[in-house]
Amino acid sequence: MAAEDVITLTGYVKTYDSQLGRNVGVANVLIQYQKANLELAFAVTGGDGQFTVQTSIPMSQTNDYEWMVQHLILQFGGNYYHTIPWRVTTENSTAAITMSVGANFPVGRWSLYYPYPEIIIPDTRQLGSIWRAANYFYYQQNDFPRNSPSGGTRIIANDFSGGRTNGSFGFPSCNINIYNNGHSDSNVIGTTLHELGHLTHYSNNTITFTRTHDLLRESFADYSGWSLGEKYYVSYGWKQPGGLITTTNPSPYREDVDITACADQDWRSTRAPDYGWYSPLFIDLTDDVNQHAFFRDPEYRYFLNENIANVPSSLIWEVITTSTDWTQCRQKLSQRLVPTYCTSTQLEAYLVNFDEWFDDFGHIVL
């Protein structure tokens, strides 16, 4: 007869997504199984959020009440048995956020196999959205390098509003702040991927990053938030409502089309720096949207008029990592886009908008 029995605990860790309207699995959360504060076993959630934790106990203690009281500790990042290249913390601690889930087995119902009820990460601090964005960036996307500083990326889930600021990236610390502004899950995911875009840009070359003009830096970060954010949701079957807005399908503009809030489709060359740095410079080279063609308000005549699409992320990455000012960026775009993705005339008609902006505001910095 065996001297030990094996306890198996299984279940799912999920979070509600307001864009999809359903609970989705949360991958790569560290799970610790504890009894009376004694760690017994650990596991990591899979791609669908499923986990299985197993530990052995002496057969002589199988029916002891002490074994019927245990906890699962969910840890959001760090290097606890399983290296996660990021961690989500509060503003008051550098340690990864943890969440305790208890389960008390009633006497007489003790079992060596226990399926946990579905564990739902609460919406506090937008934790579920921030975590899913970071997990997508580090484990699923292949568009950009998955850089992380020594000791891992610290993403601070602030429990307070940043006002007009949804997120920020600090260097040389490489800390990322996400502020609790009450936005939708897809917006928070876009914001987190925006800031991670800054991180990978900075990590590629810290010197050139600090010398790069603010409009170029922010436009690339918005490209990261928009492109990776939409790809994340497409992986769950999401499609833009009514189909893509294109020059041949000029549906009225709807805010919910830009689910990441990073697409900057209302940018214009007359937009003074406050939000003026956040332009669709790289986004409009990839998407199939000509906002000048379908916007109806008279002011929209100032919006960008372009018929360029499908420029790959690899080329966008090449341009942003080899350009620090508008002159270099413009020259690089001309060299790499013509004639493969557009004609010289098409590109010039697009870039002239940024010529005007840089003439008027290029000397102003963040």
Structure tokens at 157: 């889930």
Phi and psi angles of residue 42, each rounded to the nearest 5 degrees, phi first:
-145, 160
Q: What is the pLDDT of residue 30?
A: 92
Condensed to tens digits (0 to 9), the pLDDT of residues 84-103 reads 899 999 999 999 999 988 75
Condensed to tens digits (0 to 9), the pLDDT of residues 168-220 reads 999 999 999 999 988 899 999 999 999 999 999 999 999 999 999 999 999 99
Class of domain 4-83+95-118: mainly beta
Q: Please give the span between the terminal C-alpha atoms of the chain, in angstroms, as a whole number.
A: 72
Nearest-angstrom CA–CA distance, 321 and 313 = 12
Find residue 35's DSSP bridge partners.
38
CB count in 10 Å sphere of residue 189? 33
Phi and psi angles of residue 359, each rounded to the nearest 5 degrees, phi first:
-60, -40
* Segment-wise mean pLDDT, segments of 10 residues, the chain, 366 residues: 68 94 95 73 91 74 52 81 86 92 53 76 92 96 91 92 89 94 93 98 93 96 96 87 47 61 85 86 86 58 74 96 96 96 93 92 78
Give the pTM.
0.90
Cα of 156 vs its chain's centroid, Å: 13
Structure tokens at 175: 């800390």
Q: What is the pLDDT of residue 253?
A: 46
**Domain coordinates in residue numbering, the chain:** 4-83+95-118, 216-366
Q: What is the pLDDT of residue 218?
A: 96
Q: What is the pLDDT of residue 363?
A: 82
CB count in 10 Å sphere of residue 76? 25
Spatial CA neighbour of 155 closest among 143, 173, 139: 173
CB 189 within 8 A of CB 260: yes
